Chain A
Amino acid sequence: MIPLRISVDPLPIDIPIVARLMMSADRDAQSSLERDAVFIEQSSGVAEFDLSGMSLRLRVEDAASLDGDVVMILPGQRSLHRLIRRGSKHNTLLVTEQCDQLCVMCSQPPKKHHVDLFDQFVEAVELAPDKATIGLSGGEPMLHKQRLFDFLERSLSARPDLKFHILTNGQHFENEDADFLNRLPRGSVLWGIPMYAAKAVVHDEIVVKEGAFQKLCASLALLAKVGATIELRTVVMGSNAQYLPALAQFIATHLPFINFWAIMQMESIGYGRMNWDKEFYDTSISFNTLSEAIDLSAALGTEIALYNFPLCTLPDRYRQFSVNSISDWKQKYLLECTECTLKEQCGGFFEWYQESKGFEGIKAQ
Chain B
Amino acid sequence: MNVWPLRFTDTNDGELLFTDYAGGYFRSTQEFLDRYATGELTTSDQNFLSDRGHAFEKVSDLSFIGFASRWSGRLNANKDINYIILVPTLRCNLSCDYCQVSRVNENAKGFDWDDKTLSAVLRLLEGFGTKEIKVEFQGGEPLLRLNMLREVRSFCRSHFETAQFVVCTNLQTVSKYAWDFLSDEDTHISTSLDGTFDVHQQQRTKDNTTTGTFRTNILKAIETKGVGNVSALPTIDPLSAPEPKILIQTFADLGLHSIFLRPINYQGFARKRYQFDQVNQFWSGYYRRFIDELIEYNATADEPFEEYYLTHILRRIIQGGHNNHVDLRNPNWLGQDYLVVDFNGVLYPTDEARMITRIGQLDLSIGNVHSGLDLSKLDVLNSDASNFFDPDCMNCAYQPYCGVDHIDDLSRYGRVDIPRHLTDHCQKHMSLFDLAFELLYSGDPKVHNSLAAWLNIPGYSPHLTPVHL
- Chain A residues with CB under 8 Å of chain B are 217-218, 220-221, 224-225, 245, 248-249, 253-257, 291-292, 294-296, 298-301, 315, 317-318
Contacts and interface: CB of A to CB of B under 8 A. Distances in A.
Given A299-B464, A301-B318, A225 B459 contact: no
B69 A220 contact: no
25 contacts: A217-B62, A218-B61, A218-B62, A221-B60, A224-B69, A248-B463, A253-B52, A254-B63, A254-B65, A254-B66, A255-B66, A256-B66, A256-B70, A256-B73, A257-B66, A295-B452, A295-B457, A296-B461, A298-B457, A298-B458, A300-B464, A301-B318, A301-B320, A317-B458, A318-B458
Given A225-B65, A257-B69, A296 B53 contact: no
Contacts of A317: 458-459
Given A220-B62, A225-B60, A299 B321 contact: no
Contacts of A298: 455-458
Interface string B314-332: 0000111100000000000
Contact of A295 (B61, B64, B459): B459
Interface in B410-459: 452, 455-459
Interface string B45-68: 000000111000000111111100
B18 to A, nearest CB: 15
Contact of B65 (A224, A249, A318): A224
Given A249-B463, A254-B63, A299 B455 contact: yes
A151 B455 CA distance: 43
Contact of B464 (A217, A224, A257, A296): A296
A253 B66 contact: yes
Contacts of A294: 458
Given A225-B60, A299-B464, A291 B458 contact: yes
B458 A296 contact: no
A291 B459 contact: yes
B287 interface: no
B460 interface: yes
A339 to B, nearest CB: 27
Nearest to A321: B458
Interface string B290-327: 00000000000000000000000000001111000000
A245 B51 CA distance: 14
B65 A221 contact: yes
A15 B31 CA distance: 75
A201 to B, nearest CB: 16
Interface of B: 24, 51-53, 60-66, 69-70, 73, 318-321, 452, 455-461, 463-464
B460 A295 contact: yes
A256 B69 CA distance: 6
B70 to A, nearest CB: 5
B319 A301 contact: yes
B65 A295 contact: no
A255 B63 CA distance: 8
Closest 5 CB pairs of A and B: A301-B319, A254-B66, A253-B53, A298-B457, A317-B458
Contacts of A245: 463
B62 A295 contact: no
A218 B61 CA distance: 7
B460 to A, nearest CB: 7
Most chain B Cβ neighbours within 10 Å, of A224, A254, A301, A317: A254
A293 to B, nearest CB: 9
A242 to B, nearest CB: 14
B60 A300 contact: no
B463 A296 contact: yes
A41 to B, nearest CB: 44
A257 B457 contact: no
Given A296-B464, A298-B455, 5 more contacts: A220-B62, A221-B64, A254-B62, A256-B70, A299-B318
Given A299-B455, A300-B319, A292 B461 contact: yes
A312 B65 CA distance: 39
Contacts of B24: 253
Contacts of A225: 60, 65
Contacts of A296: 461, 463-464
B455 A254 contact: no
A257 to B, nearest CB: 4
B423 to A, nearest CB: 29
A301 B321 contact: yes
Nearest to B451: A299
Contact of B461 (A299, A301, A315): A299
B460 A300 contact: no
A72 B24 CA distance: 52
Nearest to A251: B66
Nearest to A292: B461
A294 B460 CA distance: 10
Contacts of A300: 318-319, 464
B196 to A, nearest CB: 33
A13 B221 CA distance: 70
A237 B320 CA distance: 32
Contacts of A220: 62
B53 A254 contact: yes
A221 B62 CA distance: 5
A227 to B, nearest CB: 10
A298 B62 CA distance: 22
Contacts of B318: 299-301
Contacts of A249: 463
Nearest to A257: B69
Nearest to B60: A221
A257 B460 CA distance: 23
Nearest to B53: A253
Contacts of A256: 66, 69-70, 73
A148 to B, nearest CB: 24
A245 B65 CA distance: 22
A221 B452 CA distance: 31
Contacts of A299: 318-319, 455, 457, 461, 464
A295 B460 CA distance: 7
Contacts of B70: 253, 256
Nearest to B464: A299
Nearest to B322: A301
A299 B64 CA distance: 22
Contacts of B320: 301
A326 to B, nearest CB: 23
Contacts of B64: 221
Contacts of B66: 224, 253-257
